Amino acid sequence: MIEQNIEETPELKSKDTQGVKQINPIADWFIRLLKGALVGIGFILPGLSGGVLAVIFGIYDPLIRFLANLKHKFVKNIMFFLPVAIGAAIGIVLFAIVVEKAFGKYAAQFVCLFVGFVAGTFPSLYKTAGKQGRKSSDKIILLVSTLAIFSLMLIGGRQLTEVSPNIMVWLGSGLLMGLGLIIPGMSPSNFLIYFGLYDKMATGIKEFDFLVIIPLIIGFVICVLLFAKVAAWLFRKYYSGMYHFILGMVVGSSLAIFPTVVFPAFTSEQLTITGLSFSSSLLFCLILFIIGTLLSFQFSKIEEKYPREEIF
């Protein structure tokens, strides 16, 4: 009982003494819907990770803790994460349509917008990672994880092989998407591109092909439920090291997007496809990157005025 009071007092104090504003419940619901939509887009946007965006928007920790202990206030948690799930589904379906229609032509430019979203929240993420202190070993973990994911994505930047899609392949693809949530920085879309499955998946989702959608969902759920407990335990036991590891994955995967996705857009062949000159293509990328950075930086500042999502 004493231990419980010790744990709860700082939270109660912080809410009473810091004058944290309470956001309108309806507005909060729609904000979580928007966050879910962006996380959903992150699952299928080449070079990005739904897990990275979940970290950025402050829903990764509470979601992992909920998934690791489903019985704990199940109904209340479901109601809390319902708009996130709805938003994610909307983001995936809508962006699958965009992928097939127009995104391919200006993929590199719009990827810059999302890299800007990541860059703008880096100060906030770095602050969060050091919330329980920052040791020399944490900085080493940050550096090693950054270099590791950057190298892996750079080496795998070319399509490895063409895989014929079937139910088991889509089940495996769902598992990959689940890992993209559990391991921020891992981009499932990159692997799907490498195996020639990305465009087929986007088409299947857009056309509501349940032979694609159902195995994807099953694989995703299986992966998340299997590894959520492991992730939650690691965060409890090694918070600082884990968060610096994730931060490194975020930084490394974001940097790797430039040589693997963005730079190839400046070849003469790709410039001809887009109908842009080198300078206009570069300017397009820079403008979208700056817009994404400024928006996410301001968003992270606004969020500091309100309580972060907490597991109930």
> Beta-carbon neighbour count of residue 269 at 10 Å?
8
Q: Which of the four pLDDT bands, split at 50, 70 and 90, describes residue 99?
A: low
Dump pLDDT digits (tens) for 145-161. Answer: 999 988 877 776 554 45
Q: Which of the four pLDDT bands, split at 50, 70 and 90, describes residue 309?
A: very low
The answer on pLDDT for 110 being more than 80 is: no
Between these two residues, 271 and 184, which has the higher pLDDT value? 271
- Check if the beta carbon of residue 54 is closer than 8 Å to that of residue 184: yes
CA atoms of 107 and 199, how far apart (whole Å) = 13
Which pLDDT does position 160 carry in this prediction? 47
The answer on pLDDT for 10 being more than 50 is: no
All residues at 6 or more sequence positions from 292 whose CB lies less than 8 Å from its CB, including other chains? 112, 113, 114, 115, 116, 117, 119, 120
The answer on pLDDT for 86 being more than 90 is: yes
Q: Which of the four pLDDT bands, split at 50, 70 and 90, describes residue 5?
A: very low
With a pLDDT cut of 90, the percent of the chain lying above it is 14
- Check if the beta carbon of residue 187 is closer than 8 Å to that of residue 49: yes
Mean pLDDT of 236-258: 83
- Check if the beta carbon of residue 111 is closer than 8 Å to that of residue 45: yes
The answer on pLDDT for 109 being more than 60 is: yes
Dump pLDDT digits (tens) for 16-29. Answer: 444 545 667 788 89
Question: Of 22-31, 55-64, 100-109, 118-127, which gets the smallest average pLDDT?
Answer: 100-109
CA atoms of 308 and 232, how far apart (whole Å) = 18
Task: Indicate the angle between helix axes 210-237 and 60-68, nearest 10 degrees.
Answer: 100
The answer on pLDDT for 6 being more than 60 is: no
Which pLDDT does position 81 carry in this prediction? 92
Question: Is 142 in a helix, a strand, or coil?
Answer: helix
Q: What is the largest CA-CA distance in the chain?
A: 69
Mean pLDDT of 258-285: 86
Question: Of 140-144, 188-192, 294-298, which gets the smallest average pLDDT?
Answer: 188-192
Question: Which residue is associated with the tokens 């940097």?
Answer: 255
Across the chain, the runs of DSSP E, i.e. the strands, are none
> Beta-carbon neighbour count of residue 11 at 10 Å?
11
Dump pLDDT digits (tens) for 157-200. Answer: 554 456 788 999 999 999 888 887 887 656 677 667 667 687 78
The answer on pLDDT for 307 being more than 60 is: no
Tokens found for residue 66: 């909920």
Phi first, then psi: give them for residue 33, nearest 5 degrees. -60, -45
Highest averaged pLDDT of the listed ranges 4-13, 55-64, 128-137, 218-227:
218-227
Say what the pTM is. 0.63
Mean pLDDT of 2-27: 50
Which pLDDT does position 64 carry in this prediction? 86
Query: Which candidate, 223, 193, 7, places its Cα nearest to that of 104?
Result: 193
Q: Which of the four pLDDT bands, split at 50, 70 and 90, describes residue 111?
A: confident
Mean pLDDT of 272-288: 88
Q: Which of the four pLDDT bands, split at 50, 70 and 90, describes residue 312?
A: very low
Which pLDDT does position 9 carry in this prediction? 41
All residues at 6 or more sequence positions from 232 whose CB lies less than 8 Å from its CB, including other chains? 64, 65, 67, 68, 69
